[in-house]
A = this chain, B = another copy of it.
Amino acid sequence: MASGGVDGAPLPDPVVGPVLVVGAGLIGASVAMALTRAGVETFIHDIDPTVAHVAASRGAGSRHQPGPSPRLVVVATPPDQLGSEIARALVDFPGAVVTDVGSIKSKPLAFLEESSLDLGRYVGSHPMAGSERSGPLASSADLFDGRTWAVIHRPDCDTAALQRVDELVRTCGAVVVHMSTTDHDRAVARVSHLPHVVAALTAGRLVDAPAEHLTLSGQGLRDVTRVAAGDPRLWCQIVTANADALGVLLRQLRTEIDGLIESLATGDHSGVEAMLAAGVVGTAAIPGKHGGPSVTLATVSAAIPDEPGALAKLFADAADAKVNIEDLRIDHDPARAFGLVEIDVAEGLAERLTSMLRARGWTAHR
């Protein structure tokens, strides 16, 4: 269940319990379920006992307080309570490492730095996983599988504490990314908070739409607006806590929208296409699903006789190789009896496709 072990490297140690999770909402309950799944002794607490009861009933550990003090406390409360709950955990459990899973790292840290607490045992973190649904009913032991989970590296935090939080992340099946507090908050403004706000604004435009118009809604609209179904109180706490970083991006967005309105009004469309082209570049910059890089394409070339059915046979042979064709170009010279087909496939599959095509009698090369 834990990630790692790639290239024969030893699997990282799983985190050692007992672990206390404070807050049994979507993220807290999911962390507790993932730890329980991994065999780690886990306790879950919530200010609302029925919420903790629901979470525990779904496999998120035990509601009873740990006998020996927890070795790790995971604070998973709403954003506005993170600072005080982290402080409370540091005081209540002087032998424990304390982390939180909040979406903003600078605001609770500023709260803590105003206290007289030694913050060496506190290491903030943030799993990049969630759902537009909330609460323990939406929780899942595999919510974090293969997801990125930021662990905040501060000069004043203990190395051993950092390592324990890394172990938590890996035990939950996620991939550790170390980052500073400032970098984290700027990053989430761009990859999470701005997208959430534009999704909500786009969905908000649907409220006063004629019902007949909404019958034309397609998958694109559903995708763009899906995250906007998230809890408005929670998201209000998140985006307002990151006001500075988000404000910079919103002002850039406003400038672009001003330009777009002007372009549409005047009929000078060059700026519109440039804006759309930048969007294409932006989508390609998003790393692949499991935190890996975007898929790099490689080209396989094949000579193709200019006769009926040749292209159909080439497609069938590529399909038999179980290789997805990402793009294709045909260089077709009417004066020759052969054309050249350039097939773009994921780089890791180019060799397999080339071999398969050759085995089927095609003249193919990378």
Contact = CB atoms under 8 A, between A and B. Distances in A.
Given A54-B328, A243-B264, A249-B205, A199 B224 contact: yes
A205 B207 CA distance: 27
Interface string A208-222: 011011111111111
A91 to B, nearest CB: 29
- Copy tally for this chain in the complex stands at 2
**Range for the number of chain A residues in contact with chain B:** 35 or more
B221 A191 contact: yes
A137 B315 CA distance: 10
A40 to B, nearest CB: 20
A123 interface: no
A109 interface: no
Contacts of A37: none
A154 interface: no
A285 B209 contact: yes
Contacts of A330: 50, 53-54
A225 B148 contact: no
Given A222-B289, A250-B257, 18 more contacts: A58-B312, A126-B216, A130-B218, A150-B216, A177-B215, A179-B212, A190-B206, A191-B206, A192-B216, A205-B282, A206-B282, A207-B285, A217-B287, A229-B284, A230-B280, A233-B273, A239-B272, A247-B264
